[in-house]
Amino acid sequence: MADVHGPGKDPVAVLGTGIMGSAMARNLVGAGLPTTVWDRSPSATAPLSDVGALVAASPEEAIRDARLVITMLPTAAVVESVLFGDEVAEAFSHGAVWAQMGTIGVAATTEIAGRLGQLRPDVLFVDAPVSGSKAPAEAGQLLILASGPREADAVVRPAFSAVGRKTVWLGEAGQGSRMKLVVNAYMSTLIEGVAEALELASQLGIDDAKLAEAIEGGPLDAPIADAKLHKMERGDFAPEFPLEWALKDVDLAIAAAGDGTLPVLAALSRQWRAAVDAGHGREDVSAARLALGHNMRGGRL
């Protein structure tokens, strides 16, 4: 493939091209960064070839010549399997940077960073989970919660600028993951609050649209709450941030804090698990509405 990106731009590899990873890869290509992609599902990478990304046949092939490797994989187990299975980590180029940008929890992040340090001490590890869902990812407006060696900043900055509106550096690797759990705990309680307010409105004979009108423009009109309120109101559960991954993040927060210290999140986890177990895990987190009241009694679950 001819070099259409211009000189002096470091190659980037993206491992994991689901909802978030594919949007990020598109923005990297759009910023003129030579981008190679890989996913466990070939159908996830095929559309990216059409916009100018190179599609690798394996993770080892994807990272071999990359200056920056971004992982956007769903769980710690998948990250470990992909990067440390089949000696893939040995394929990092000398002095490369690995930006782990999925949400996999604090303990797993620390373990992976330590394992990489023993295996490839020349590779810099940046813990940089992102805050935002499908629409911000597509618009290149993610919040990046970065932590790790600051000498990696020069390498990651062009890519982070392409996919995010802001990068906050938080200290040593692991701090980004800690902050992400806190941010997502806040987000999750807002979304469950919206779902339960709508259920109460239903029980009291209040029209959903009137609730939205009453809140609009006031101090309670948080953008994420407003967006999910309208999705719930419309019965639109098309995935922007799948419920199963939101539940995963809630459970990671509970585990990190210790049993019994987050009673509201623990109750929320039970509610969301009911919806996931009923088959709504791949729907949007707004499907939390389906675990409440008349939806349960009416058999939607």
Over residues 107-166, the pLDDT tens digits come to 999 999 999 999 999 999 999 999 999 999 999 999 999 999 999 999 999 999 999 999
Residues 16 and 149 in one domain: yes
Distance separating alpha carbons of residues 122 and 215, to the nearest angstrom: 52
Residues 153 and 212 in one domain: no
The two most distant CA atoms of the chain are separated, in Å, by: 64
pLDDT of residue 85: 87
275 near 290, Cβ under 8 Å?
yes
SS3 string, 190-216, reads: HHHHHHHHHHHHHHCCCCHHHHHHHHC
Residues 35 and 58 in one domain: yes
In a domain, 145, yes or no: yes
Distance separating alpha carbons of residues 148 and 124, to the nearest angstrom: 8
Structure tokens at 91: 């394929």
**Residue 293, CB-side half-sphere exposure with 13 Å CA sphere:** 13
In a domain, 6, yes or no: no
Q: Kindly report the backbone phi and psi dihedral angles of residue 68, in degrees, each rounded to the nearest multiple of 5, phi listed first.
A: -130, 130
In a domain, 1, yes or no: no
Domain endpoint, select from 137, 172, 207: 172
Provide the H-helix boundaries in 59-174: 59-63, 76-84, 106-119, 134-138, 153-163
Domain endpoint, select from 156, 172, 188: 172
What are the 10-residue block averages of pLDDT along the chain, 301 residues in total?
54 97 98 97 95 97 97 96 93 97 96 96 98 95 97 97 97 97 96 96 95 94 94 95 96 90 95 95 96 63 60
How would you class 178 by CB atoms within 10 Å of its CB: exposed for 0-12, middle for 13-18, buried for 19 or more?
buried
Amino acid at 259: D
Tokens 């609730």 sit on residue: 211
Residues 183 and 166 in one domain: no
Residues 103 and 120 in one domain: yes
Residues 111 and 183 in one domain: no
Residues 151 and 264 in one domain: no
In a domain, 211, yes or no: yes
Residues 153 and 37 in one domain: yes
pLDDT of residue 300: 57
Number of other residues whose CB lies within 10 A of the CB of residue 265: 18
Query: Active-site residue among 134, 180, 228, 248?
Result: 180
Distance separating alpha carbons of residues 290 and 232, to the nearest angstrom: 9
248 CA to centre of own chain? 11
pLDDT of residue 5: 42
Residues 102 and 77 in one domain: yes
Q: In this structure, what CATH number is given to the domain that contains residue 30?
A: 3.40.50.720
In a domain, 7, yes or no: no
Residues 235 and 203 in one domain: yes
Q: Give me the sign of the Cα torsion angle 230, 233, 234, 238.
A: positive
In a domain, 5, yes or no: no
Provide the residue range defining the domain that includes 99. Answer: 12-172
pLDDT of residue 3: 41
Tokens 């609050």 sit on residue: 193
Domain endpoint, select from 172, 207, 240: 172
Residues 73 and 128 in one domain: yes
In a domain, 275, yes or no: yes
C-alpha distances (whole Å) from 94 to each of 37, 108, 124 are 20, 24, 10
Domain count of the chain?
2
Q: Give me the sign of the Cα torsion angle 217, 229, 105, 113.
A: negative
Residue 180 among the catalytic residues: yes
pLDDT of residue 107: 95
pLDDT of residue 253: 96
In a domain, 4, yes or no: no
